[in-house]
Structure 1
Amino acid sequence: MPADTAAPAGPLPFSTRIREASWSRHQGLDPSADEADGVPGLFDRLFDGSLSLGDYTRWHAQQYFVYAAIEAAAERHEGDPVAGPFVFAELARLDAIEADLAFLMGPKWRSGVEPLPATAAYAARVEEAAATPGGYIAHAYTRYLGDLSGGQAFGKAARRNYGFEGLGAGFYVFEGIASPKAFKEEYRSRLDAVDLPEDERERVIEEVLLAYDHNGAMLAELGANLGANPFDPKVIAQICHHMNTDHAADTLVICRGAGGLPAAESARMTGFDGEGADFAAAVDGAESPLRVPWAAPLTERAEVRPEIVRIFTESKALLDARP
C-alpha cells in the first residue's frame, strides 16, 4: 500500500453518529431573530439581558412538564439492562425546577403553570417514546447533555440578568457533577457501548431528531408570546390558586356559563393575561381547555377581581335563564 494512502475508516461511534445527525437541528434550535424582521427571540433576549423575568419564569415553567415526563420514565427504566446505565440521580432536574418555581412564583406556583399546546405534545411524545429503552435514551440524551452544555450558558446569563445567587437558576446547577466535560465523555462512552441492534440505534437517532423538533416547537410558541402578558407569574399563580381552592364552585359556574360548557363536571382556572382568562373544564371525565375573554384589556392586578365577578354574575344569570 502506498505510504500516502489512508486505511479505510471504521464505523463511527454511536455517540458521534447521533451528534452529527442532530447537529443541524441543534444549530437551528435557537428561536433567535427572525431573518425577515430582525426581532430577537427567547435565547437572544436572555443573552442580551432584555428577556423579562416573567417570560424567563414562563419558559422555566414549561420545562417542568418535559422533565416530569422524562424522570417518570427514568424511574421505570432504572433497573433496565439497556436504559438503566443512562439513569443518573445527579442528572435529575425536577426537584431543582420545582424549587426554582417556588422561588419565582411563590408556594402556590403549581396553580399558575399549565403546559402550552406544544409543551403538552412534547411531554406526550416523551411518555410514548420512553416506553422503550431506546426512546428513553434518546430523550434523556437530548435534554441532559444539552443542560450540561449550552444550558450552562443559560444559567450564567440568568444569574447575571436577574441577580440570582442560587434559587431561580438552580435548574442549571449539577451539584453532583464535578466535571461536566468528564461526565459527558462517560455518557458518550456508554452510548457507544449500548446493547442495541442497528435498527434500534437508527430509531434512537430518529427520536433524538424528534426531541429537537418538539423542543423547538415549544420554544417557538413561547417566543411568539414574549412580552405579551402584563401580569407577573406570581400574581397569576396566587389568583388561580384562590379561584381553584376558595371559589371552585364559582369557577365551575364561569366555565358552564361564559365558557359555554353547561355539562362541565369540574373546572379550574389555569392562567390569564391581558386579554382573557384560561380554564380547564371536565366533561364526561375528559378535561378540555377553554378561554373566556375580558370585556376590555386588563393591565393591573386590581382589575382582575372585578372582571371575574362580572363574568361570574353573567354566567350565573345565563345558567339560571336556561330551561
Structure 2
Amino acid sequence: MPADTAAASGSADTGAPLFSGRIREASWSRHQGLDPSAGTEAEQAPGVFDRLFDGSLSVGDYTRWHAQQYFVYQAIEAAAARFADDPVAGPFVFPELARVPAIEADLRFLMGPKWRSGIEPLPATKAYVDRIEAAAADWPGGYIAHAYTRYLGDLSGGQAFGKAARRNYGFEDEGASFYVFSDIKSPKAFKDEYRARLDAVDLAEADKQRVVEEILLAYDHNGAVLAALGEGLGRNPFEPKVIAAICHHMNTDHAADTLVICQGAGGRRGAESARMTGFDGEGADFAAVVDGTEVPIRIAWAAPLSERAEVRPEIVRLFTESKAALS
C-alpha cells in the first residue's frame, strides 16, 4: 500500500512548506486514485482492494497479490542493505520495517514449501522492480522515495488490509504477517519520526523535487501492478499451491522435458534451458534462456482446463508433440 497522504502538510517557522508536507500534497491525487473508498466519475470494475474489503477476493488471488509484493520488497530491501551506512539514506533504513521475511513466511503458509517455484513477476511488477533498482542504484533519494511510498503506506492503510485478510480468511498470524510490525509499538509515533527525518534530510532542492517525482512514479507503478492483477481476478481455477507444486515437479524432475516443450510447442528451438513459471485454465507459462537472455513463453492448452488431474495429460501431450516436431 503506498504511503498515506491524508495528513496535513504543515510548515516550518519560516513559512516554507515542510518536505514531508510537500510530498503528501503532491501525491494526494495518486493516493486517492488507489483508494477504493474514493469516489470516481467513471464506473470501474471492483479491483483487488475493493474485493478484499467486501470479502469477495479469493484466497488464490490474495496469494497472487502477495507474491507480486515479494518482488517489490526484495528490490527495496536490497537497496536498504546498500544504503544502510549512507549519511543521507541511512536514517531511513529501519530493520523493523523489513517485510521480505514476513512475505516469505506468508507465501510458505499459503503455497507450501515449494512456493518459490510458483511465483513469477508480472510484466508490470518487473517494470516496477526495474524502476526501483535504477532509481536506487547509487542515488540515496531513490531509496528514500520508494521506501517512503511503500512502508508508510503499510503502516497506514495497509493495516486495514491485514485486518480484512484475517477476517476474510480466518488467518491468525501466518498468511497476513506481512502487515504485522511487531517491533513498532506505535505506528503513529514511528510515522511522525519518519516524517521529521524527511523534513531534516540533507538533500539539495533539486534532489528533493526529484524525490517527489520518484514517489509519483512509485504510485504509478503500484497502480499498474494492481491493474494487472485486477484483470486476472477470478480467472485462474488453480490454487497457487497447486501451481507451485507442479512447477517445482517439472523444473526439478523433468527439466529436460520442459526444455523440449519450449523448443517445440514454444517455438524456441535455440533455447538453452527452460523452466515452467505458472499456468492457468487457458495455458502454461515458461521462461527460456535464448542467446543468454531469459524470455517468457506462453503455450495454450488444447482445451480449457479446470482440474488438477487434467494438467499432467496436457503436459505429456505438449512434450510428445514437441519431441516429434523436433525430430
Q: Matches of 1:159 and 1:220 in 2, distance apart?
A: 23
Q: Matches of 2:40 and 2:289 in 1, distance apart?
A: 39
C-alpha RMSD over aligned residues: 1.3
Identity value in percent:
79
Q: What secondary structure, in the 3-state scheme, does the structure 1 residue paired with 2:238 have?
A: coil
Q: Matches of 2:187 and 2:42 in 1, distance apart?
A: 37
Give 1:35 shift.
5.9
Q: Which runs of 5+ in 1 are unaligned?
A: 1-7
Q: Matches of 2:274 and 2:177 in 1, distance apart?
A: 33
Size of the aligned set, in residue pairs, is 313
Give the structure 1 partner of residue 118 of structure 2: 112
Q: Matches of 1:252 and 1:171 in 2, distance apart?
A: 35
Q: What secondary structure, in the 3-state scheme, does the structure 2 residue paired with 1:56 have?
A: helix
Q: Within 5 A, what are the aligned runs for 1:151-162?
A: 151-162=158-169
AA in 1 matched with 2:235: A
Consecutive aligned runs of 4 or more in structure 1 exceeding 4 Å deviation = 31-38
Give the structure 1 partner of residue 22 of structure 2: 17
Q: What secondary structure, in the 3-state scheme, does the structure 2 residue paired with 1:11 have?
A: coil
Give the structure 2 partner of residue 57 of structure 1: 63
Q: Within 5 A, what are the aligned runs for 1:90-239?
A: 90-131=96-137, 132-239=139-246
Q: In the alignment, is the contact (CA less than 8 A) between 1:103 and 1:168 conserved in 2? A: yes
AA in 1 matched with 2:198: L
Q: In the alignment, is the contact (CA less than 8 A) between 1:112 and 1:241 conserved in 2? A: yes
Q: What secondary structure, in the 3-state scheme, does the structure 1 residue paired with 2:271 have?
A: coil
Residues 172-211 of structure 1 deviation map (CA, whole Å, 9 limit, x = unaligned): 0001100000000000000000000000000000000000
Q: What secondary structure, in the 3-state scheme, does the structure 2 residue paired with 1:265 have?
A: strand
Q: Matches of 2:200 and 2:289 in 1, distance apart?
A: 47
Q: Matches of 1:95 and 1:198 in 2, distance apart?
A: 36
Residues 78-136 of structure 1 deviation map (CA, whole Å, 9 limit, x = unaligned): 00000000000000000000000000000000000000000000000000001210010
Give 1:305 shift.
0.1
Q: Matches of 2:230 and 2:28 in 1, distance apart?
A: 22
Give the structure 2 partner of residue 79 of structure 1: 85
| TM-score, length basis structure 1 | 0.95
Radius of gyration: which is bigger? 1
Q: In the alignment, is the contact (CA less than 8 A) between 1:70 and 1:140 conserved in 2? A: yes
* Pair 1:270 & 2:277 matched: yes
| TM-score, length basis structure 2 | 0.94
Q: Matches of 1:34 and 1:304 in 2, distance apart?
A: 42
Give 1:39 shift.
2.5
